[in-house]
Structure 1
């Protein structure tokens, strides 16, 4: 066997003449080789594939935004009244479209680098550690909170479908809501194993179509029913404290309806990008289409639902509608299908965070078993919390103001001011500060109404009834 020369066999002159070959070294912080880091990036859900088209952006954003919130908008109108309600809906649509544009623009603001996650953009704006502490807790509250609310709403819609179809013929009509939430959760234990955003595209597309269908059914069925004989358009509450707290809660309901910003960077990360064709162009095209669909879903459902039922509308417009039965049953099943897709869209960034921590911080190997256990535990957790606290409208109001307002209404504006530093008193400066002030007011006021509703309902609620 041929012996390899040793370092001591070379003279100093000969050593100096040897070619220098770069040697790969492991990352100094994580202790892994660059090839391993690349493999981990390719395994994580957000970075896995980048071949999406602009229409992927459109239906992912529709699925993310048009969800349970649209069903609560007529109820929010009953807490706000005609003038204030229309103004809040329209202003929210304009502000959130503007802040969405900001996030799309900031995705590739640094040449050669992409901010694939919300917290990565926050780290660029506020620093490595402070950016994480500012963004990650809020983003987790939004995404985990939405998954919990969708568990509740999915179970309620399944229960409504069962009751409408079953009528008075079924002996098991009094099945508890708990069991319907468990049925809804069962499919997520399977779907949560889909590895990345691209793999859930079919589910998301079906969800987007369903959202447009059931919101259309909601307002068309309201038109068909016509204005109720005893309809009243005064505020739902009769006492001054009730009106104030109802107003605060309604603001949270509206904020809940515009939550797509929490996954917009993650969606944009799936679109390919080159210097000649940056991802922001197809992404923005998809966002514009999505916001047109959002307007078509939100405004007719909110205004027509309130017109038909006034302040007697339920917190879920499909619960108020009872005829024709087959159409209401179909609409509730569409809600279930949509919520299945929407749950997965919001869960994917959470899965990415969980798996990143387990692999990069705790040293677990990126394997199928890790994904199976981690994601199943998360789905089980959201199911358990939903079963324990099934307060639909109160959850909307509380989460809508507490975390949705910062990540949707004003955090993108703060990042924009921090990074681009527009000239003081310029149009950009004024626009961003107006959004920040309104967003902070929304964040402070709306959770108060939601928390009050939770307290009132908790007085009469029996756990796991």
Structure 2
């Protein structure tokens, strides 16, 4: 009797190991610390960086500078907490955001708190990137070929999606590290192009730093929307534990040491990308800046076309980084809950359908950018600004009114305010621009 029980549990353990070796997050654990650096840069520095000067024009100098720098500090702190919490139970690793959530809030509740928000963020970002990739390709075409026939955005989104129908079948995080490195280099490059080209143009003769909107309500709503844009710009936390899961760990050198080194490098790169673009772009153009700084800089044509091409390459990498945890969730669900066998066919169908879904939504609603402020506050602020703090308080239970306790509560309050007020601004932006929206444009 004892023997059969043992072999059954061994069989179950072996089956579990086979599944883990197949799932994209846990299948390879030989990443180096610099993988963490460029995965984090790719995840964090989205095309959102190009809208930061526009956000500044709605925030103004004082609040704008404060909010940009404060967000950088808060999100670095919450990221540090997540890296620390990855292995706080000896012998166990929280490879996924929701596993940490389940440890903090309990089996059922943890799933319900984390998974919906994480999915909104990851799928939302992927849809935005479908549109961004399509728009940037279209811009390159329009800039380089002035007399060509106009091609609808729909087709550009399809062309961009066709790349992902291939790349989506790379099995795990380590297999996309080359794509990710290219993307990280590109984000640095187009950020640098954006601010150096702005400096080259110089401060505009009629530059005006007053708020963009003329009415009081307009100013308030634009301010709220800009907060959502900033929250969206710092949204790399959704894939942090999943990235850390790919790093090997031993009692002597736990994974948090190389991971943290990578994160610090990534955050320095983020500062180099974000702050010059936001401040210099606003300084040169004031409130006349477009919601994408590359549009404001029309000349020289070849440089702007190149920058748009860099955006395309970057967005290809970012799409994959955010899609990987979604693939992991889908495949875990299908294999563990629905009882499918882990196979190439299952993976091929699942991932192809996911890419098709994001492409379809992107084509239907190409005004997804307006939804950013809305989603930015709604889902990005919790997972980035305060969910890690709540978990830290729940698990570590620091002393009341001690430093750790106070700092975490401060982050939670800032984050909750962001969650409540930035969707209001985003919603108004959607309503105002809904007058001239067309589906399938």
Q: TM-score normalised to the size of structure 1? A: 0.93
Taking the aligned partners of 1:451 and 1:292, their CA distance within structure 2 comes to 33
In 1: Cα distance, 2:194 partner to 2:95 partner: 36
- Report the structure, 1 or 2, having the larger helix content: 2
CA contact (8 A) 1:253 1:393 kept: no
- Root-mean-square deviation over aligned CA pairs: 1.4
1:48 maps to which residue? 27
Partner of 1:276 in structure 2?
252
Which residues of structure 1 form unaligned runs of 5+?
Answer: 1-6, 8-18
Q: Are 2:306 and 1:359 equivalent residues in the alignment? A: no
1:228 positional shift:
1.7
2:303 counterpart of 1:327: yes
Per-residue CA deviations over 1:140-195 (Å, capped at 9, x if unaligned) read: 0000000011111111111111111112x22x1x2211111111111001000000
Which of 414, 426, 430 is the aligned partner of 1:454?
Answer: 430
Distance 1:330 1:63 in 2: 19
Contact 1:24 1:34 in 2 (8 A): no
In structure 2, C-alpha distance between the alignment counterparts of 1:176 and 1:236, rounded to whole Å: 31
How many angstroms apart in 1 are the aligned matches of 2:170 and 2:48? Answer: 26
1:119-158 deviation digits (Å, cap 9, x = unpaired): 0000000000000000000000000000011111111111
- Measured in 1, the distance between the counterparts of 2:209 and 2:369 equals 20
Q: Any gaps of 5 or more consecutive residues in structure 2?
A: none
- Corresponding residue of 1:111: 90
**Any residues of structure 2 matched to 1:248-267 within 5 Å, and which?**
248-267=224-243
The match for 1:127 is 106
Tell me what 1:193 maps to.
Answer: 169
Name the counterpart of 1:165: 144
Partner Cα distance (2:368, 2:358) in 1? 14
1:395 Cα deviation from its structure 2 partner: 2.4
Counterpart contact for 1:78–1:235, Cα < 8 Å: yes
Q: How does 1:65-464 map to 2 (within 5 A)?
A: 65-167=44-146, 169-170=147-148, 172=149, 174-464=150-440
Q: Which moved more, 1:317-326 or 1:401-410?
A: 317-326
Rounded Cα–Cα distance in structure 2 between residues aligned with 1:327 and 1:395? 29
Pair member with larger Rg: 1
Deviations 1:221-252 (A, max 9, x none): 00111122222111111111111110110000
Q: Secondary structure of the equivalent of 1:46?
A: coil
The residue that corresponds to 1:3 in the other structure is: none
User: Is the 1:160–1:319 contact (alpha carbons within 8 Å) kept by the matching residues of 2?
Assistant: no
